[in-house]
Structure 1
Amino acid sequence: MKIQKKLSLLLALSFLLGLSAGGNKVMAADGAESYNYSYWGLTTAAPAAYQANGLWNGESTGAGAFKEPGDFHVTGDKQIYVLDSGHNRIVVLDEKLQPVQTIRSFARDGKEETFNNPQGLFVTDSKELVVADTGNKRIVQLDRNNKLVKVIDAPKSDLLSEKFDFQPVRVVVDKAQRIYVMSAGVYDGFMEFSPDGTFTSFVGANRVSFNPTDYLWKMLSTKAQRSQMVMFTPTEFTNLDIDQEGFIYATNGQDSGNVKKLNAQGNDILRRNGYFAPEGDIRYMSATGPSRLIDIDVGDSEMYSILDGKRGRVFTYDGDGHLLYVFGGLGNQMGQFNTPVAIERLGDEFLVLDKALGEITVFETTEYGRTLNEAVRAYYNGDENKAYELYQETISMNANLEFAYAGIGKALLRQGDYREAMKYFKKSMDQKGYSKAFLLYRKEVLREYFPGIMTGMVLLIICWFGVGKYRKRRGGKKVAFIKQRAV
């Protein structure tokens, strides 16, 4: 019996160690409604930051049923452009999800032309509509009055092969009116087009990902064997968005670097200072595998959200890469989806588009979500006092949110309270923040006590020289006295 108990205990410990092992990523957050991850990679409970408060489909909006909608976009004046791919139309809704207009066609050279299975769209600040007309293998740009601006057909370039098949599926436009296109089957990055529609270059190609063992085997194989092997090619991007400063945020299907922030040169400048890289779930059942990111939405204050198509969850991060909150999921309940395909912000609310059901779910913030969002914004805008107070409120609602302690530490750091900042950085396991606060605190202490230390050292030196001279003088007198007595 004792041996059996010991064996059972050993098996239980082995199981727990297996769950906590970072390499296997076996333990899941599957099934959890709201959670976060600790510094040690453990799933911790968290209050809901967003809750579903509305469900809309084409019929309830008054625009007619949606059929496999592929994308949508929210403008600065809070109009919602829904790409109803199955019906080859764009439905424009107001912020209350009531129909404004429907765009089915446009005039080109005196003839009416329609869309064919469009998969992506973007609306500029001047309300120009840019559509990835996938079935027609072109990009269509319309002005705010739905008049044709230009059509970008399959480009010709030395950078493209003769067999290149132009299948645009996603599109964004920057402030300079450059158009960035994600085309199916392209591994070289996003296609960049000048304002006049000329293809110029590729931007932000993913690096090749391969297994070292496979690479070694490929080197040792014969030509016949190599011809049957899978080629090492970069992964495709899965979606993209652009912020107000012109930086492109993109998602892809790699095992690492799933989210990128690309500058004008195509370099990834995303900050990954959180406990784990922004990639969705970091713990999951081995049978289901990691998150499959299918969309990204960039908000204000460098906050961004990614949509996991595999589990239907939305993960939101701050500009440093800390996971703020998680919501959503797959299922039949309110706030869950069947086939989520796109995510957008409507003010402080979130909209998630379900392709299979043709529905839009509206999520509104809870008190916890609002407080956390405002804390991030306050810190981003340099309002240290407000950030400190809001992060304190956040911790009072969720003591498990370890990175919030780092937020307080950063606020205190900006305020110049380095000693107190060290305590909060220690709680959040922020080694870089702690080291910075420690160095500044050490300088502050040295600056405070340096005059006293230097004064003391000078006095010691003066005393040392004074004592030396006194002893020398006294010694000289003593020798003279001895000589006098001897005479």
Structure 2
Amino acid sequence: MSRGMTKRWGTGLALLVMLLGFASRAEGAAEFVSYTLDWRNRRVAAPLGYVVEDVLSGIGQLTEPMRSPQDLFLDAEENLWIADTDANRVIKMTRTGQVLLTITEAGGTPLYGPQGVFVKNNGEVYIADTGNKRIVRLNPDLSVNTIYEAPKSLKLGPDFNFQPTKIVVDKSDTMFIVNGGDFHGFLQMDAKGRFRQWFGANRVPFSLTRVLTRIFATEQQREQLTRQLPPPPSNAFIDHSGYMYATSAFATRAQIKKLNSVGGNSFPDKFYGEIDVVGWTLTRPQFVDVTVDKNDIVSALNAQSGRVYQLDQDGNTLLVFGGQGDQRGVFKYPSSLVVDSRGWLYVLDNQRNDIQVFRPTEFANLVHEASQLYYQGRYPEAARLWEQVLDMNTNYELAHKGIARNFYKDEEYAKAMREYRLAHDKKGYSMAFAELRKEWARKNFVLLIVLIGAGILVLTGIGVLIVLYVRAGWRHPGEVVGEA
């Protein structure tokens, strides 16, 4: 069967899967999905990327079950730390679910609704003790190191409300804090608890309505317009290279960012996820957490749909899985996720009160490895894996892009153009076409010179004839050339 015919069969299968998905949603059944997104952001069915390996809840080991846990962290020893919010505690367990300890107080004060936890490589624990409006810093033996309360700064003002919900800490002990619904960005504090700056703030998204209102509205309407604020961040993750990834649940664009040391975003500035139809309502994605594995694969958690979106470093969607429901593999309301050194994902659900452990399939491993090789510039090795991906899913557009890049590197521009076309990569196609045109010009240089020379001679001859004709046309009738 040709690749084109196989692709049409694959497209039909994708439509069938989508229709079945809508039907199951209408009946209220669990909807476990596995797909990717094409260049138009439409769903394309894909083999399963992840399967549920285990479900961790701590039942039988904890004095009471988890209650509305909000945050999950994986430490350097690959133990899980859970901010068990409504139970007013932090739990540490192994990645197989064995509970190691619980933290219920710090400095003689019980924890109150903690929503965030972070553990440094040296074992120090940071807790966003939200209800008590403080950050608790514990030594590796869990003795209190420092308790940070609201920082004092003229830039914050006298009415500043300190309500930390999430926290990450860099190698210099600088803290980046999600402060409630604060629209300024991440609250940056140093190790002494001093306010440094607001970091990585979002912008108010462009709106044609706002532009027209500024032009035609009354003064009172303009004042209301200026009160529109940018969306606050929802969570953050610091990868092995020190880059900070951030999510914004209520942003309409650039909901996932990769922030550098000065807060600039180096991740593609575009819309991530999908707009879903629930009943008669359009719902936007709400990305509440993000994590990055050792291969720089980004996994972002959409709490609104219960789906995990995996992206490469260009923001392309590699895989999507999950869904909403009560069964294994889907979620009621996921709140956080982490990834271990094996590439296994752990997703915390604050309504199911458990952690589902997802193991990548052969298909996911192939996609991840091919993507990693591609971004390392090892195009021939990546192309071989992308071919295997196409054997498993002929509609996988990014595989064509990876193969095209290898052809381009090998100066096989015609083949590269074909693969870029299948990948719907206009930029790559244009690059390959430009090189093919230059290559043709180099190979046919002598012919071009001959043709250009011949063209010049022909044009010169035509010009001479025209001049002679015009000059002859200006002579008077009966005039003989050479008469005195």
- Give the Cα–Cα distance (whole angstroms) in 2 for the partners of residues 373 and 360 of structure 1: 23
| 8 Å Cα contact 2:276/2:282 also seen in 1 | no
> Corresponding residue for 2:33?
33
SS at match of 1:186: coil
Partner of 1:478: none
Aligned length: 426
User: Is residue 309 from structure 1 mapped to residue 309 from structure 2 by the alignment?
Assistant: no
| 1:1-400 alignment runs, 5 A limit | 31=31, 33-59=33-59, 64-106=64-106, 108=107, 112-209=108-205, 211-214=207-210, 216-217=212-213, 231-252=227-248, 253-271=250-268, 277-282=270-275, 284=277, 287-346=281-340, 347-400=342-395
Report the alpha carbon displacement of residue 175 of structure 1 after superposing the two structures with TM: 2.1
Judged with a 3 Å threshold, the aligned counterparts in structure 2 of structure 1 residues 40 and 222 are, in CA distance, closer, same or farther, namely closer
Q: Secondary structure at the match of 1:34?
A: strand
Partners of 1:343 and 1:350 within 8 A in 2 = yes
Whole-angstrom distance in 2 between the partners of 1:280 and 1:29: 21
2:481 paired residue number: none
How much does 1:93 deviate? 1.4
Query: SS at 1:172's partner residue?
Result: strand
| Deviation of the 1:331 alpha carbon | 0.5
Q: Structure 1 CA distance, aligned partners of 2:173 and 2:130?
A: 21
State the match for 1:14 in structure 2. none
Q: Distance in 1 between matches of 2:359 and 2:63?
A: 23
Q: Compute the RMSD of aligned alpha carbons.
A: 2.9
Question: When the two structures are superposed, what TM-score results if normalisation uses the length of structure 1?
Answer: 0.80
Q: Which amino acid aligns with 2:81?
A: Y
Which residue is 1:13 aligned to? none
Distance 1:61 1:441, change over 3 A: farther
CA 1:315–1:60: 2 relative to 1, 3 Å: farther
Measured against aligned partners, the alpha-carbon deviations of 1:69-106 in whole angstroms (never above 9, x if no partner) come to 11110123211111222222222112322122222334
Q: Secondary structure at the match of 1:201?
A: strand
Aligned CA distance change for structure 1 residues 379 and 215 (closer, same or farther; 3 Å):
closer
Secondary structure, aligned partner of 1:237: coil
For residues 162-200 of structure 1, the C-alpha deviation after alignment (integer angstroms, 9 at most, x for no partner) is: 111000001111122211001013111111112332110
Contact 1:79 1:95 in 2 (8 A): yes
TM-aligned CA distance change 1:195 to 1:412, over 3 Å: farther
Give the unaligned 5+ runs of structure 1: 1-19, 21-26, 465-487
What aligned pairs does 1:416-427 form with structure 2 within 5 A after superposition?
A: 416-427=411-422
Other structure's SS at 1:86 match: coil
Distance 1:40 1:229 in 2: 33
Deviation at 1:332, TM superposition (A): 1.4
Q: 1: CA distance between counterparts of 2:444 and 2:300?
A: 50
Structure 2: give runs of 5+ residues left out of the alignment: 1-14, 16-21, 26-30, 458-484
Q: 1:103 is aligned with what amino acid?
A: I
Alignment TM-score, normalising by the size of structure 2: 0.80
| In 1: Cα distance, 2:217 partner to 2:378 partner | 61
Distance verdict in 2 for CA 1:101–1:447, change over 3 Å? farther
Deviation at 1:422, TM superposition (A): 2.3
Does the aligned pair in 1 maintain the 2:32–2:321 contact within 8 Å? no
CA shift, 1:32, in A, is: 6.6
3-state SS of 2:420 partner: helix
The alpha carbon displacement at 1:441 in A equals 4.1
Deviation at 1:223, TM superposition (A): 5.8
Asked if structure 2 preserves the Cα contact closer than 8 Å seen for 1:61 and 1:97, the reply is: no
Q: 1:290 offset after TM fit, Å?
A: 1.6
Identity of aligned pairs, percent?
Answer: 32
**Contact 2:152–2:194 under 8 Å retained in 1:** no
**Which stretch has the larger CA shift, 237-246 or 198-207?**
237-246
Query: What CA deviation, in whole Å up to 9, does each residue of 1:36-71 have, x standing for no partner?
Result: 222234322111111112212121666752121111
Q: What amino acid does structure 1 have at the position aligned with 2:376?
A: N
1:382 deviates by 3.0
Instruction: Give the 3-state SS of the residue equivalent to 2:367 in structure 1.
Output: helix
Letter in 1 for 2:330: Q
Contact 2:186 2:198 in 1 (8 A): yes
Post-superposition offset of 1:157: 1.0
Structure 1 residue 439: Cα displacement: 3.4
